[in-house]
């Protein structure tokens, strides 16, 4: 019995790493641009459909499709920030919210028109294979997806720590005015940041596609999930987002194993309420 739960928890942790990558995109965007991307989940389902198209036309494995999809998402994100959101950066929060809700509505229903309401997926030939470690059995796709999510996250961390652009973006996040004073092109860096967040999301979408089906109406629930992960982990904390993604993956899997799979999001919400109650700044967040 214990093995069963351990197995569920480990699978959940692997899924959680992909969740974490999805939330990283949101965290990066919020941490720097200070705009809440309410179209996050909708953008991810868009990326998932992109990966499906690539799989259908070029027989491309979603793990490979990660690169082109992330690249396209980068440009779309960059363009979205440049063309639309930059003008809203200094406007009140609720106007930004409405703007992104409008984008989200257009994306969900655009996907509905283009791909129909039915669930779609990609069949990879290793979909049913698994690795066995003693009494623990883990799906091959889950392990691949988790490893890829870790690799992308590591690349993101390295970018922010090691490159000049990454450091400039962090400077914008720390001190908007200061960054302007030393001559950083803040608007361009914002667009770059949104692009990077969207690229993370593109990669996460391809990896999600290995694990679940996609329907257009899932967009809003992914948005909500990403938010909860970011809040639980601590707004603006990248490690926090990854960690809390892991935590929520585990809690979802355990909820499914212990109770009922349909109750899994109740556990997630309960976790959110607990965190807001006892540690409102999030697990690894700094107190504002």
Partner 1 sequence: MMAAFPQLFAGLPRRALIALGVFFALLLVAPWLVNAYVLSILVVVLYFAYAGQAWNIMMGFAGQLSLGHSLYVGLGAYAAAMMFTKFGFNPWVGLLVAVLATTAMGAIIGFLAFRFGIGGVYFAILTIAFAEFTRIGFDHWTWLGGSGGLFLPVSNLSSNDLLNLRGAPVMFYYVMLGMCVAALAFCRVLLASRLGYYWQAIRENEEAAAALGINVFRYKMIAVMLSAAMTAFAGVFYAFYYNNLFPEQIFSMGRSIELILGPIIGGLGTLFGPIVGAFVLTPLADGLTEVLQWAGVEVPGVKQVFYGFCLLLVVVFLPNGIWPVLARRFGLAREN
Tokens of 260: 């009922």
Choosing from 53, 64, 89, 105, the residue that interacts with partner 1 (CB under 8 A) is 105
Q: Report in angstroms the alpha-carbon separations of 4 from 10, 15, 85, 136, 183.
A: 10, 17, 47, 8, 57
- Roughly how many angstroms between the first and final C-alpha of the chain, as a whole number? 43
Name which position in 69, 99, 149, 248 contacts partner 1 (CB under 8 A): 99
Judged by CB under 8 A, the residue of 94, 164, 177, 183 near partner 1 is: 94
Among 98, 127, 151, 212, binds partner 1 (CB under 8 A): 98
- The distance of closest approach from Cβ of residue 104 to partner 1 in the complex, given in angstroms and rounded to an integer, is 8
Least Å from the CB of residue 21 to partner 1: 20
* Minimum distance, C-beta of residue 161 to partner 1, in the bound complex (Å): 27
Q: Is 59 left (phi over 0), alpha (psi -120 to 50) or beta?
A: left
Torsional class of 60: left (φ above 0), alpha (ψ -120 to 50), beta (otherwise)? beta
* Residue 131, beta-bridge partner list: 138
> Which ranges of 34-163 does DSSP label H, i.e. alpha helix?
40-58, 62-83, 93-115, 140-162
Instruction: Decide: is 33 part of the binding site for partner 1 (CB under 8 A).
Output: no
Residue 210 or 232 with smaller CB distance to partner 1: 232
Residues 234 and 195: their CA atoms lie apart, in Å, by 22
138 lies in the binding site for partner 1 (CB under 8 A): no
Stretch near partner 1 under the rule CB under 8 A, chosen from 1-9, 134-142, 197-205, 261-269: 261-269
Q: Which of 117, 125, 133, 182 binds partner 1 (CB under 8 A)?
A: 117
Per CB under 8 A, does 97 bind partner 1?
A: yes
Which of 57-65, 122-130, 239-247, 268-276 is the region at the interface with partner 1 (rule: CB under 8 A)?
268-276
Contact 124, 59 (CB under 8 A): no
């Amino acid at each position: 019995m214990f093995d069963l739960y351990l197995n569920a928890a480990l699978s959940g942790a692997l899924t959680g790493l992909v969740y974490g990558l999805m939330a990283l995109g949101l965290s990066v965007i919020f941490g720097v641009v200070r705009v809440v991307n309410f179209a996050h989940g909708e953008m991810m389902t868009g990326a998932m459909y992109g990966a499906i198209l690539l799989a259908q036309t070029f027989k491309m494995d979603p793990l490979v499709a990660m690169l082109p999809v992330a690249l396209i998402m980068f440009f779309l994100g960059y363009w979205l920030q440049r063309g639309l959101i930059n003008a809203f950066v200094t406007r009140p929060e609720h106007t930004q919210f409405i703007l992104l809700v409008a984008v989200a509505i257009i994306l969900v229903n655009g996907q509905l028109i283009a791909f129909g309401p039915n669930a779609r997926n990609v069949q990879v030939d290793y979909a049913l294979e698994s690795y066995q470690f003693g009494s623990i059995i883990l799906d091959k796709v889950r392990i691949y997806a988790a490893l890829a999510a870790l690799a992308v996250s590591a690349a993101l961390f390295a970018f922010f720590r090691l490159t000049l652009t990454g450091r400039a973006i962090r400077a914008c996040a720390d001190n908007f005015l200061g960054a302007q004073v030393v001559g950083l092109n803040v608007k361009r860096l914002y667009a770059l940041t949104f692009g990077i967040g969207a690229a993370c999301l593109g990669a996460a979408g391809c990896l999600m596609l290995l694990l679940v089906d996609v329907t257009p109406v899932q967009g809003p629930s992914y948005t909500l999930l990403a938010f909860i992960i970011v809040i639980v982990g601590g707004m603006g904390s990248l490690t926090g987002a990854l960690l809390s993604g892991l935590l929520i993956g585990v809690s979802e899997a355990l909820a499914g194993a212990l109770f009922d799979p349909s109750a899994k999001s109740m556990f997630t919400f309960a976790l959110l309420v607990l965190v807001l109650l006892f540690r409102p700044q999030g697990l690894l967040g700094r107190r504002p």
